[in-house]
Structure 1
């Protein structure tokens, strides 16, 4: 089964011009082009378009989306990851909606506000299950205890160091440096030191986390805001550092 470019554009709420542009940049190649010059898309292309639209909604640029798709050859696994992301977002947004409703009700009734109700859905524990599945219950518990023990200024300083690293990676990439260059590897060293505050830094941990920076849009966009392709650059820098400087 296949669909014409006009039909796909209409169902996706986009334009034929946009789909042609996706094809021109190698992001969504049509399944075939008819004698009349029209482009047609089969089921495989339809699934790829769905993944593109999901990543666009997360704010990724087209080059960043291309990197993500090239790094996720297993379509089924990628769709499962998308599904977990969407379900997590749905749960988080549902908690925020309930929180705002509660705040509105208590405010209108002149009732006392409860911090755990007002801030539900905004806390960093939203990804507790995912962290536990990836690195174990103890890893999450240790990180959670550490985070809760920080003061506001300490949390800001910790996040500030990460933001500074992300910006420096982006600047290094824009300057034409390679991931293996000494200056970039020094950033990777700082990055691992930053990570070591909350967990044991091993080769397997860092390489796995580096891959997630590219595969998971929630992480990738934190780096790509400093220039398209920065997440991939960070992954490569950390992977090189881990292979040469860290042990399992």
Structure 2
């Protein structure tokens, strides 16, 4: 009914996320109302992009679920509005094609490339900073943007490697990776120490960023610890 595989349920059981009401002698797991409600919450949080480790904290009451849901609610609403605009653009395109009319380029691509985080970013850093970042990103061109995306993937892989190796925050190898991370940030914005650390704290506090880094195999707290050392020494 929940479209959840038995494999996923076994995994949730093994990591202590969702225990069955009881398990029969033949190994079948049985779930009652309380477990179904908990599963519903797990699936909702997964749909919002939250990692299993963070979901466990939410369900254990260690994380403010309401604040986490508020952030994701804003993102979902922004995505809804963006997709609605894209639907209207496609409808206009189809109507113009049917009538043999022409559309301007601005009309044809209305709604594409809009950033659902833009309004929130403006609240955090101001419109001027957002405009500068957008201008820098646009000036890079398609090739430059692809190169930047590849660099971020490489940085994340190195961060995950350092974390797996147990390297301390001030370890030279980790600090060289943090240096690359800072250079990547500077492609669109040049933060001073406070701004860089505020960004790192957002990686920890914002469930969307946490889910992104956890998926890449990086604990946001580990990244922030490295950023703190780098900011103290270099910024």
Instruction: Name the TM tier (shorter chain).
Output: 0.7 to 0.9
- Once the two structures are superposed, the pairs formed by residues 178-193 of structure 1 within 5 Å of their partners are 178-193=168-183
- Once the two structures are superposed, the pairs formed by residues 154-233 of structure 1 within 5 Å of their partners are 154-227=144-217, 229-233=218-222
Local SS of the residue matching 2:167: coil
1: CA distance between counterparts of 2:59 and 2:127?
A: 30
Confirm or deny that 1:120 pairs with 2:110.
yes
Local SS of the residue matching 1:123: coil
Q: Structure 1: state its 5+ residue gaps.
A: 1-9
8 Å Cα contact 1:202/1:246 also seen in 2: no
Residues 64 and 132 of structure 1: is their aligned pair in 2 closer, same or farther, counting only changes over 3 Å? Answer: same
C-alpha distance after superposition, 1:44-95 (max 9, x if no partner): x95x766532331245552364478789723332222122122112112212
Shift in Å, 1:179: 4.2
Deviates more, 1:78-87 or 1:148-157: 148-157
Local SS of the residue matching 2:80: helix
What TM-score do you get using the length of structure 1 for normalisation? 0.70
Residues 83 and 58 of structure 1: is their aligned pair in 2 closer, same or farther, counting only changes over 3 Å? Answer: closer
1:234 equivalent in structure 2: 223
8 Å Cα contact 2:51/2:215 also seen in 1: no
Local SS of the residue matching 1:144: helix
How many residues get paired? 229
What TM-score do you get using the length of structure 2 for normalisation? 0.73
Residues 101 and 206 of structure 1: is their aligned pair in 2 closer, same or farther, counting only changes over 3 Å? Answer: same
1:4 equivalent in structure 2: none
8 Å Cα contact 1:71/1:215 also seen in 2: no
1:7 equivalent in structure 2: none
1: CA distance between counterparts of 2:63 and 2:50?
A: 19
2:25 equivalent in structure 1: none
8 Å Cα contact 1:72/1:78 also seen in 2: no
What CA RMSD, in Å, does the superposition of the two structures yield over aligned residues? 3.8
Residues 92 and 59 of structure 1: is their aligned pair in 2 closer, same or farther, counting only changes over 3 Å? Answer: same
Q: Structure 2: state its 5+ residue gaps.
A: 23-29
8 Å Cα contact 2:58/2:64 also seen in 1: no
Local SS of the residue matching 2:117: helix
